[in-house]
Structure 1
Amino acid sequence: MNKSALLIAASAAVLLAAPAQAQTQPAAPPVTHGAPLTGICILSLDGAIGSSTVGKYVQTRLQQISQQVQTELTAEQTVLQNEAKALDAQKASLDQGSFDQKNASLQVRANALQRKAQIRERELQATQQKALGRVGQELEPVIRGSYQQARCSLLIQRDAVILANPAMDITPQVITGLNAKITQFSFDRERLDQAAPAAAAQPARRP
């Protein structure tokens, strides 16, 4: 994976795992460390993103957008369910042709709602990827700057290390640098249902 893809993957991991991480964890026993190794630094991408102001903002905003989608789909589903119940109650008073016609109309709308739900799911995925890509872009130069400031010769992901002297960890510096650079940015749900008709309307290119 390239650096941007790695940062996005780490961002996604920490944001999606945030509710689980919020649970209280038992305190680890104290450890006596040896002297820090000169030139070797450690960084927790998850910790840097999850503890940063912009990382928390992105998580909250993604949750808001997801809730908006859920509210939209639930409202339409409720309308269809109520109409289906009403039609079922009228079944005895309707002739078979009228009942079949109304039932077929409801089925068409139910299928359309299912397609919309699938589009919204892809939109949420695209929104998350775009937002995390922005965080990754902002984070890369901060990591490089912290690496150089700490005079590192080797930077290791903390997840790949069982134990290490905290003096070798540049995560706090990265968090401080990212907070100083950006705290939030505006983004909304990606609209794939609008992009598709626009793309289809474009004339085909000649070979």
Structure 2
Amino acid sequence: MTTKTLAAGFAAAAALALTLSTGAHAQQAAAAPQVSHGAAIAGVCVMSVDGAIGASTVGQYVQTRLQQIATQVEAELKSEETAITTEAQTLETQRTTLGQDAFETRRAALQVRVNSFQRKAAQRERELAVTQQKALARVGQEMEPLIRDVYQQRQCAMLVNRDALLLANPQMDITQPLVTALNAKITQFAFDRERLDQQASGAQTR
């Protein structure tokens, strides 16, 4: 796995988690043909949780912060990958001048570094995934009571996931009021990359 692949994979995951951002909504709206809706059904409300997160200030902050952390990880791994690549190239140019035993010893040591790097890259990928999950879970936790508040304010008798519907009358959609409430409650919170090695060592000392 290369650092470029790692960064691309994580960026795709982050984009998927926040797929219904404001920009995505605008593109979809521009591409979708005009639809005439029937009368709104009294008491029935629809809402998109993903859309609310993606359109909210805190959701956009989380996406930006995740991208920053992924870039930091990429830089860390790229530096080590470059050093290993340089050493491998140097060793190859010295193959004919080194004795067989010396060459095999250095090649074995290099393989140890490669294996260690691959384990680190895999761990960083897991850490990025856990970081993303926890950050989005925090947003969901902040949003949960707001969903109930908006539900009651709009006098809903039923709340349906908009993402599971093909079409719905926009008058029944309470996503934007939820975004407004979420923006008033929280716009950002501090978080950094999860460190799985520290968690593992902490568990072993208990």
- TM-score of the superposed pair, with normalisation by structure 1: 0.85
Q: Following TM superposition, by how much is the alpha carbon of 1:92 offset from its aligned partner in structure 2, in angstroms?
A: 1.2
Tell me the C-alpha RMSD between the 2 structures.
2.1
Percentage of identical aligned residues: 57
Return the alpha-carbon distance in structure 2 between the equivalents of residues 13 and 157 of structure 1.
17
Q: Following TM superposition, by how much is the alpha carbon of 1:196 offset from its aligned partner in structure 2, in angstroms?
A: 1.8
Tell whether the 8 Å contact from 2:19 to 2:50 is kept in structure 1 after alignment. no
1:148 to 2:152 alignment: yes
2:70 maps to what in 1? 66
1:116 maps to what in 2? 120
Q: Following TM superposition, by how much is the alpha carbon of 1:67 offset from its aligned partner in structure 2, in angstroms?
A: 1.1
Unaligned runs of 5+ residues in structure 2 are 1-13
Equivalent runs, 1:184-195 vs 2, <5 Å = 184-195=188-199
Tell whether the 8 Å contact from 1:12 to 1:132 is kept in structure 2 after alignment. no
How many residue pairs are counted as aligned between the two chains?
191
Equivalent runs, 1:1-207 vs 2, <5 Å = 13-15=16-18, 21=24, 24-25=27-28, 26-202=30-206
Unaligned runs of 5+ residues in structure 1 are 1-10, 203-207
Tell whether the 8 Å contact from 1:14 to 1:49 is kept in structure 2 after alignment. no
SS in structure 2 opposite 1:91? coil
Q: Following TM superposition, by how much is the alpha carbon of 1:136 offset from its aligned partner in structure 2, in angstroms?
A: 0.6
Distance 1:161 1:22, change over 3 A: closer
Tell whether the 8 Å contact from 1:41 to 1:169 is kept in structure 2 after alignment. yes
- TM-score of the superposed pair, with normalisation by structure 2: 0.86
Tell whether the 8 Å contact from 2:46 to 2:174 is kept in structure 1 after alignment. yes
Return the alpha-carbon distance in structure 2 between the equivalents of residues 120 and 127 of structure 1.
10
Q: Following TM superposition, by how much is the alpha carbon of 1:197 offset from its aligned partner in structure 2, in angstroms?
A: 2.4
Q: Following TM superposition, by how much is the alpha carbon of 1:44 offset from its aligned partner in structure 2, in angstroms?
A: 1.3
Name the amino acid aligned to 1:183: T
Name the amino acid aligned to 1:164: A
SS in structure 1 opposite 2:159? strand
Name the amino acid aligned to 2:157: S
